[in-house]
Amino acid sequence: MSGAETRSGTAGNHVFDRTDDVSLFAPPVEQPTAGIVHDLGNLIQVASSALNRVARHPSVSTAPALEPVIVSARTALQQAGALVRETVCRAAASHRAPEHASVGACLAEVENHVRSAWETNARLEVHAGRDLPAAKCDPLGLQNAVLNLVFNARDAMPDGGLISINAAAVVESHG
């Protein structure tokens, strides 16, 4: 299946080409789970946004020697994105064993990824209570679920805006 997917967001327009030239005749290897591959896709999106931001910086955009480096990096990220999409389509669903994850640490990691890659017209504020209990889940799964929500919120605001995440412990009363 060949085609192009266009994503627009605050980091500009990105075109990711997907081709069928991926070789599927390699010896069988344990297939990564769809979740891991999806997480890799999120990280590729962060890297693509950061690269586009760097490429638009005046000191970089006026340096002709850097153009082939940026083009090569974009091509590599586009190919990696195509491989991720291909693998997600073919991977069987599997679940990671739940463990105890620090919600605050997961949110801090998301905030670090986003702050380094985004333009200034989209802002992310994260407020995590100090008394947050550990969540019984996969830490990377939680982190990537939040990244997905943040990317979707950013894409829904092409002119920028504030994305706010507030996490607090909720105590239920049984009365």
- pLDDT per residue, tens digit, the chain (175 aa), is 333 333 333 333 333 333 333 333 333 444 456 677 778 888 888 888 888 888 888 888 788 888 888 888 888 888 888 788 777 666 544 445 678 889 999 999 889 888 777 777 888 999 998 889 999 887 877 888 898 899 889 888 888 899 999 999 888 887 6
The amino acid sitting at 27 is P
- Please report how the helices 139-155 and 34-56 are oriented relative to each other, as an axis angle in degrees rounded to 10: 50
Prediction pTM value: 0.51
Burial of 66 (0-12, 13-18, 19+ CB in 10 A): middle
Nearest to 159 by CA among 115, 117, 120: 120
Say what the pLDDT of residue 33 is: 66
CA dihedral over 23, 25, 26, 28, signed as positive or negative: positive
Domain positions in the chain are 3-90, 99-167
8 A C-beta contact, residue 107 and residue 127: no
Burial of 18 (0-12, 13-18, 19+ CB in 10 A): buried
Q: State the CATH class of domain 99-167.
A: alpha beta
Q: Report d(CA 74, CA 52) in Å as an integer.
A: 8
The helix/strand/coil state of 22 is coil
Burial of 152 (0-12, 13-18, 19+ CB in 10 A): exposed
Sorted by sequence, the CB contacts under 8 Å of residue 164 that are 6+ apart come out as 124, 125, 126, 127
